[in-house]
Amino acid sequence: MTANIQLHSLATPNGQKVSIALEEMQIEYDAHLINIMQGDQFTEDFININPNSKIPAIIDLTGDNGKALPLFESGAIMLYLAEKTGKFIPKDPVKRSQVLQWLFFQMGGIGPMFGQFGHFYKYATDKGDQSYAIERYTKEAKRLLKVLDTQLSNNEFIAGDEYSIADMSIMPWVLCLDVFYKGSEQLDLPSFTHLNRWMDVLKARPAVQKGLKVLSDI
């Protein structure tokens, strides 16, 4: 280990948003693969970092007055990194509140609902009739996409005119709908024109491109 920040993760949307943040903030870090397909998240070593056995988690080796500070919950990690560096979160309290609202929107809505859509639409099709669940989560995913599209119809970025941790947090989840879940047609993703404009801007950023690929080799 050579860097203060130790990332324990996998290239899922929640993992990608933290690796994107690390790249965008130009923070040195060491990346450690947690293969959730093989149960790495349930090992004693990982539970000591995250008692909830979910990726991602980080350790700031000097974060607690020179001692190691483990952090879990991806939204909390994003906020910690932004505050630590002073980057991608506004100092103005009104603008800061906007970023935090959209960050929490991702944590409480986008992540759980998009994840449920993906589970039933792609991964649970061999578990019996999933038509009700697919209909339910398709409807909710499209509603949330419309919220994002409407917000981006009047704003360059999610929380206004500045790129922030809110953008980094939401972008991998929108990408996941197409790339991992193959849900573009089901959700009519091309119809969300403002959202697609924003996605193109973010996908062109070198740090985003690099962050999306971190710990993707399984």
Task: Spell out the domains of the chain, with CATH numbers in brackets.
Answer: 5-87+209-213 (3.40.30.10), 93-205 (1.20.1050.10)
Longest Cα separation, the chain = 54
pLDDT in tens, 178-215: 999 999 999 999 999 999 999 999 999 999 999 999 99
* C-alpha to C-alpha distance for 56 and 93, rounded to whole angstroms: 28
pLDDT in tens, 133-185: 999 999 999 999 999 999 999 999 999 999 999 999 999 999 999 999 999 99
Residue 1 scores a pLDDT above 80: no
211 neighbors 16 (Cβ within 8 angstroms): yes
Exposed e or buried b per residue across 67-86, where buried means at least 16 C-beta atoms within 10 angstroms of its C-beta: eeebbbbbbebbbbbbeeee
152 neighbors 197 (Cβ within 8 angstroms): yes
DSSP H or E stretch at residue 168: helix 165-179
| Neighbour count for residue 31 (Cβ, 10 Å) | 17
Give the single-character DSSP code of 128: S
Considering only residues 139 and 1, tell me which one the structure prediction assigns the higher pLDDT.
139
Closest CA to 186 of 177, 175, 194, 195: 177
pLDDT of residue 2: 87
Angle, helices 13-24/74-85, rounded to nearest 10 degrees: 0
58 neighbors 5 (Cβ within 8 angstroms): yes
pLDDT in tens, 34-68: 999 999 999 999 999 999 999 999 999 999 999 99
Q: Is the dihedral of CA 185, 203, 96, 152 positive or negative?
A: negative
Residue 217 scores a pLDDT above 90: no
Closest CA to 33 of 4, 14, 7: 7
pLDDT of residue 102: 98
SS (H, E, C) 112-127: HHHHHHHHHHHHCCCC
